[in-house]
A and B are shown apart, each in its own frame.
Chain A
Amino acid sequence: MVLSCHDVRKTFGANVVLDGLSLDVGEHEVVALIGASGSGKSTLLRCVNLLAEIDDGTISLDGEDITDPKINPDRVRQKIGLVFQSFNLFPHMTVLDNITLAPVRVHRRPAAEAKEQALEWLTRVGLADKAGSYPDRLSGGQQQRVAIVRALVNSPRLLLLDEVTSALDPELVGEVLTMIRDLKGDGMTMVLATHEMGFARQVADRVAFLDRGRVLEQGPPEQVLGAPTEARTRQFLARIIEAGRL
């Protein structure tokens, strides 16, 4: 298992967001987290990346307990990429500098080598001509693709994608989804929180439905999205269909 969450609990005051959640993700596997707003999808991703501290349970990466308080969180984060809903590119840096910051400053790679690798990635995603631009000159879809590249140049073991298309105009969603589909082809292990059920169906090996801080139901996309066994999953999907998103 690349990622193993066991009995994870996370509360904000009286609000229990994750309530004994367990989830395993294998090598090269793509798991889509679906569920209503507030079901704990984003919180789970933030906990896995140690941006939020869990209140009980364990999370392991490659068999190592990363929720052990003695562990160095910076070292763990170097192995986990996280892409945010709102891109969070650094506005004062060019696209190239955004991408090479961590390789140069964290992984101590030579600047020239980091730049070369960044340009290779940018060429691959069709943004080579934007290397010297500042993020505010890019469309949302372009910014999000840069943010994904920024996470990928650290060669993470696991890539977490937190509703990466939710802040995009509808016509820009496709370019980001295409990129994620390519990453799956490369064998990247990914956990993605998403509202795009169609995309979850296409790209995910497994869909996990989160409800009230737990994984209520999980399995192959055809089964969870096509023939859910739980009543609450059916209700959720019915609302999604009503909104025209499936």
Chain B
Amino acid sequence: MPENHWPADWLRGALELCVLGALAEGPTYGYAIGQRLAGAGLGAVKGGTLYPLLTRLEGERLVESSWRAGDGGPGRKYFTLTPAGAAELARRTALWAQFVDVTRRLLPRTQEV
């Protein structure tokens, strides 16, 4: 399946979980998170979608942030998963797996895309 063709509704449902998943690999900054999601096949996530989502996660104390000086650039804001964020990621990942399992059982068998 070509990139960027996921239905918008699916992306809205999965994006927060995927961002938490990207942060599970270690502290990173907004643009790198976007690259990570695009590289995994989720498609390009615009800054206008990504940063408000990160702000919400920060408001829910699932993520924390700090500014680090850049190499000649304007500096970057690094986001880190908090212990509460890691616990929430584990909970939602398990739930997501159950959800995928349920939907797979409901859908007709298809050939690999």
Partners in one complex: no
**Chain B interface (Cβ within 8 Å of chain A)?**
none
